[in-house]
Homo-oligomer: A and B are copies of this chain.
Amino acid sequence: MTNTLYLPELREMLAEGDHQGLGEFCTALHPARTADYMEGLSAEESWQVLSHASPQERIEIFQYLTEEKQLEIFAAADEHEMARLLVDLPADDRVDIVQQLTPDRAEALLALVPLAERRDIQRLRAYAEGTAGAVMTSDFARVDEKLTVNEALESVRRQVAELETIYYLYVVDDDDHLRGLVTLRQLVVSRPDTLVSDLMERDIVSVDVDADQQEAAREMARYDILAIPVVDRAHHILGIITHDDVIDVVVEEATEDAHLLGGVDPLRDGYLETSFLTMSWKRGVWLLFLFTAGMFTVMTLSSYQGDMKTPELEWVMVFVPLVISSGGNSGSQSATLIITALSLGHVSLSDWWRVVRRELTMGLFLGGGLAFFGFIAALIIAHPPHLMHALILPVTLVMVVTAGTLLGSILPLVFRSLGLDPALMSTPFVAGIIDIVGILIYVNVAILVTHYF
């Protein structure tokens, strides 16, 4: 995905120390595009290019570099320059970087950062990953409710340099209690002498600092807002989460769910950026776990092998993979549907009875459908010695598919009620359990039917 279009020119300009050319490169395009074109450069080269930009441009382009490149630069470049860069970065981004540096390097840089910023970084660092506190920024626009619109606009102009967004202004009292919100839109369209207290919205949406980042994302999506204030229990405003961070949160959480559903421990970085060792660990653990679970299918089949040796039941064995995959597939469907519905907030724990009833009916219905085709297949492929024996397959299918839908829906609900991530009930895991249940059902149905007919 690396754009190599300008690489030769950039390297040539670096070699020649072409200050003007590099300065123009940093100015001409949208900073995100400039960053794209620099992807192929090493960390040192990138920093050299950026040293030709104005401080403002430098910080903008830097923010669009990949996290990996940013870290490399912070790990290697001059300490004093990096400390200055740290001060200029948005409050939420610089904490992410400090968190990922080696403790030694982080200490060295923090020692060079002015006290106010150092305290801010230390404070934000303290919030656990995945909470609203960890994604919020402490830069937000404050405004006094006693101001007029005109005075409020003046105060915004004074604060603007340090702010990520000025579209929402938060009204706070002297103790930083969150009292209300005015938008820049309201300020711009209102008469200059209107009081902020007359404009401000008082019933505003906020999120607790310890809440899951997903809750913040859900609230912002629900209320269609640009930023959400983060508060503590006493309703002091601690920071805000902005719209761009929320998209990152949504994408991150969805990917995490997808990975868990596929039976992979979620990756921190991109597929190609994850090292072979990390990747094989994150996959190997699950594979081995599922393999061990799969041993139970072996033991189950093996313990019934004696009973199944009769010539009448020989054909039964060849249908084992079909039976267990049918159960596994119906279970995967249910697990996927319930897990995504839980994470979207479409279903909550209190709906458990509606869900279970629905999945039970669905299992009987879908199992019945497959049973019809299974009956025909058993007749055609297996030619069972007694017509009634062909019933073994359809009867099993109804039971196994229903077991699949029930387990696939109940297990994620149980995990959620235990306070665990329902996505841990991954599709392969549900399928693994159904494998064993399916074999048990199938073998016992076969033994019973042949006993009576």
Contacts and interface: CB of A to CB of B under 8 A. Distances in A.
Contact of A333 (B221, B263, B431): B263
B318 A305 contact: yes
Contacts of A341: 270-272
Given A302-B318, A325-B432, A259 B294 contact: no
A321 B320 contact: yes
Interface residues of A, number: 119
A205 B302 CA distance: 63
A155 B48 CA distance: 44
Interface in A327-374: 328-330, 332-333, 335-341, 344-348, 351, 354-355, 358, 361-362, 365-366, 369-370, 373-374
B373 A336 contact: no
A340 B258 contact: yes
Interface stretch (A17-25, A70-78, A184-192, A232-240): A184-192
A396 interface: no
Contact of A365 (B280, B294, B299): B280
Interface string A163-194: 00011000000000000000011001100000
A345 to B, nearest CB: 7
Contacts of A272: 341, 346-347, 351, 354-355
Contacts of A286: 329, 333
A189 B160 contact: yes
Copies of this chain in its oligomeric complex: 2
A346 B326 CA distance: 33
A288 interface: yes
B321 A370 contact: no
A244 B345 CA distance: 17
A156 interface: yes
A239 B100 CA distance: 41
B157 A188 contact: yes
Nearest to A432: B325
A317 interface: yes
Contacts of A431: 325, 328, 431
A283 B362 CA distance: 9
Interface in A173-231: 184-185, 188-189, 201, 203-205, 217, 220-226
A29 B344 contact: no
Contacts of A361: 276
A329 B429 CA distance: 9
Interface of A: 1, 28-30, 32-33, 64, 153, 156-157, 160, 166-167, 184-185, 188-189, 201, 203-205, 217, 220-226, 243-244, 246-248, 250-251, 254-255, 257-259, 261-264, 267, 270-273, 276, 279-280, 283-284, 286-288, 290-292, 294-295, 297-299, 301-302, 305, 314-315, 317-322, 324-326, 328-330, 332-333, 335-341, 344-348, 351, 354-355, 358, 361-362, 365-366, 369-370, 373-374, 377, 381-382, 401, 427-428, 431-432, 435, 439
25 contacts: A30-B204, A32-B222, A32-B223, A153-B188, A184-B184, A184-B188, A217-B247, A221-B247, A246-B247, A251-B344, A263-B329, A264-B336, A276-B362, A279-B362, A280-B365, A280-B366, A287-B366, A288-B369, A290-B326, A291-B326, A297-B322, A297-B325, A302-B318, A321-B324, A332-B428
Task: Please name the 10 residue pairs, one residue from A and one from B, whose CB atoms are nearest each other, closest first.
Answer: A262-B336, A254-B254, A270-B346, A271-B341, A301-B318, A224-B244, A297-B321, A294-B322, A302-B318, A221-B247
